[in-house]
A and B are shown apart, each in its own frame.
Chain A
Amino acid sequence: MELKDRPVHQKLIDIGGATLEVFDAEAPRSAGVVCAAHPAEAYTAETANLLRRVTGTRVVSVNSRGLGNSSGEPGSLESMSLDLDQLRHELDVDGWTFWGISGGGWLAQLYARDFPTSTQGMILESACACYRQRVADPDCIMSPNHASWRAVLSEQGCLGKTCLVSMGKPDRYPSRARGA
């Protein structure tokens, strides 16, 4: 059976105080389990299947509290990380590689800090270390100072120096001209 045709199991796992929705995409290769979660976006069976096709491993994608069919309200990033390790226990997984995509990268970083023995590795894709610093960068489309928004926000009187001053300018960054 081809990997894409293998089942993705939707599970509702009780972690004590909440039930988390999990899409468990099985794989024949026994080595390695990849966990994926995002603090503000719900994953689906299709997401888990897509990630599995990339990794070739079992992928467990998790919806944090309040996302998808997970119960409760979204908590702090630290509490989401704690939930994920409780979930790992419930799934009887010894350790996993955390694939943190975009905002999921914050969860991955926190999880690796708080549960180092459960973290075999991390894939940090399109992620950053400091959100505040990122949205202060006019090159980031989420920045009020981005060229797409700056004029209209300025007209509305809600663009001020605070965007760059109170949120902090990027500190030691390498030259943008450097090649990748």
Chain B
Amino acid sequence: MIDAVGLVLLGPDHRALMVLPQGLPASESLKRAHQAFLAFDSRSWLPSLDVPVLTLGGTDDPVVPLIHVRALHERLQRSTLVAIEGGGHVPTLQGAKRAREAIRNFLQAF
């Protein structure tokens, strides 16, 4: 099962909490870290952040589906959302020109 899936993190009830597909970090320390990351939830305090934000996502991202990127954007009071059509996970590092342009334009303000 592990070979087919990658790595499955189980909860105390031996039910699967999450899957780390092959290729993602999976050392012992990082397994523990991922368990801790599952507690991360900023939804209650995101609206209080008063900083400019560029929120980027790919429409075809299987790791962070765009719906979650959009939900993040909608809780931020000063966010601009740029969705890269056909973009996967981390479109900038995949060379998406529009993502790079959006970042350059965003940083012009500083």
A residues contacting B by CB (< 8 A) are 31-32, 34, 39-41, 50, 54-57, 66, 73-74, 76-77, 97, 99, 101-103, 105-106, 109-110, 112-113, 116, 119-135, 137, 139-144, 146, 148-149, 152-153, 156-160, 162-163, 166-167, 170, 173-174, 176, 180
Contact = CB atoms under 8 A, between A and B. Distances in A.
Interface centre among B25, B64, B79, by most chain A C-beta atoms within 10 angstroms, is B64
17 contacts: A40-B37, A57-B107, A101-B93, A106-B37, A121-B52, A128-B68, A128-B71, A128-B72, A131-B39, A131-B41, A139-B67, A142-B20, A142-B21, A142-B63, A144-B8, A152-B4, A160-B15
A119 B40 CA distance: 20
A112 B104 contact: no
Contact of A122 (B8, B17, B53): B53
Chain A binding surface, main DSSP class: loop
Interface string B21-63: 1000100011011101111111101101111111111110111
Contacts of B30: 40, 74
A127 B53 CA distance: 12
A139 B42 CA distance: 21
A163 B16 contact: yes
Tell me the dominant secondary structure on chain B's binding face. mixed
Of the four ranges (under 10, 10 to 19, 20 to 34, 35 or more), the interface on chain B belongs to 35 or more
Contact of B33 (A74, A109, A144): A74
Contact of A137 (B4, B65, B106): B65
A127 B72 contact: yes
A132 B54 contact: no
Contacts of B99: 125
Contact of B16 (A97, A119, A134, A153): A153
Contacts of B83: 180
Given A135-B17, A140-B65, A124 B104 contact: no
Given A126-B90, A140-B62, A142-B18, A135 B107 contact: no
Which of the listed residues A32, A55, A56, A124 has the most CB atoms from chain B within 10 Å of its own CB? A124
B53 to A, nearest CB: 5
A102 B46 contact: no
Nearest to B11: A162
B19 to A, nearest CB: 5
